[in-house]
Every structure is written in structure tokens, then in C-alpha cells.
Amino acid sequence: ACLQIRFERVNDSIGPRSVPKTNFRLFIKLLQVVETQKYWFAARTLSKQEFAVKKRIENLNLEEGIDVECYLPTRTVISQLKYRRKRNVVPVARGLIFIHATKQSACDIHNVYGVQVFYMKDFSTHSMLVVPDKQMQDFMFLLDFSPSGIEVLNKNLKRGDRVRVIKGPLQGLEG
């Protein structure tokens, strides 16, 4: 499938030394189509500000009407105090939040609305790190499915190894 783009020259010259302008309307329309696609971006927050950033983004959705979602992976930790136990909800990864938005909306969160998020960079493309939708859906499903945690049966696995679940309720998940 080959995409052909045709540009038209419009002669709007006023003086003899003016250069004719090129009409890029079709090109702009193509860029708008690309810019309406939403991606998952990985972003860092300031220390212990994950819940505040999530709340601020949710408030922006309600007040300003921007179309941005965020996902903060959390887990429940029980801490033992002197005579009682306390349940705390803490982030799975400190200082990390995932934002689902168009690239322009994601930039506006920091630049226009002043939310303190710092997008992680992809070293190969030198642009904002995009998490593929399939990986993000699997990650959210895994954290939402099992509140008690996941048992790993093969102890020879190293960090970064690709795995596939072959049996059980999570059959078919890869990552």
C-alpha cells in the first residue's frame, strides 16, 4: 500500500522577489490523523508524588476536558506497628506512572497545565518512550487479576528473559 501525496503551488506573490508559497493542507490533514492516535507513555514523577500526579491528571480530565488517562500500578502492603497492623497502598514502582494520551496532550500536561511529570526517553529514537498497547494491557491485567501476587515456578529465570504463560488462568500472556 503506497501513500501518494500531491502538493499544489499557490502563487500569492506580491512583489517581484517573492517566492511562491506551497500549500500543505493535505500534509496537515495526514499529520492530524496521526496525532489523534493515543499511546501509553511512561513518565517519572517527583519523589512520593505518584498519587498527587494521578489525582491532578484526573482533575484535569473533569475540569479542562482533556482526553488523558493515567494508570498507577499499586499494591497493598501490611506494615506491623507496635500493637497493630496497618494496610498501605503503595506504587509497584516508585516514581513511575503511565499516561494514555496523544503526543500533543501528553506534552500539554507538563507544559500547559504544569503537572510535574518527566517522560522517559527511548534511546533508539530519542523521543518519548511509548509502551505498546498489548504489553500495557497484559501488565494491567496481571496486576488487577491477582492481588496476592504471582508464583514463579522456574527459578532459573533472569531479569529481562521473555516468558509465556502456558497453563492456568493467565494462559497466553507474554512478556
pLDDT in tens, 101-124: 999 889 889 888 889 999 999 888
User: Is the pLDDT higher at 168 or at 144?
Assistant: 144
Sign of CA pseudo-dihedral 113, 114, 115, 117? positive
Report how far residue 51's alpha carbon sits from residue 67's, in angstroms, rounded to the nearest whole number.
19
Q: pLDDT confidence of 155, banded at 50, 70, 90?
A: low
pLDDT of residue 64: 84
Q: Looking at 50-54, 104-108, 120-124, 156-160, which range is the least confident one?
A: 156-160
* Mean pLDDT, rounded, for 32-41: 76
Q: pLDDT confidence of 96, banded at 50, 70, 90?
A: very high
Is the confidence at residue 97, as pLDDT, over 80?
A: yes
Mean pLDDT of the chain: 77
pLDDT of residue 40: 93
* Mean pLDDT, rounded, for 30-54: 83
pLDDT of residue 100: 94
Percent with pLDDT over 70 in the chain: 71
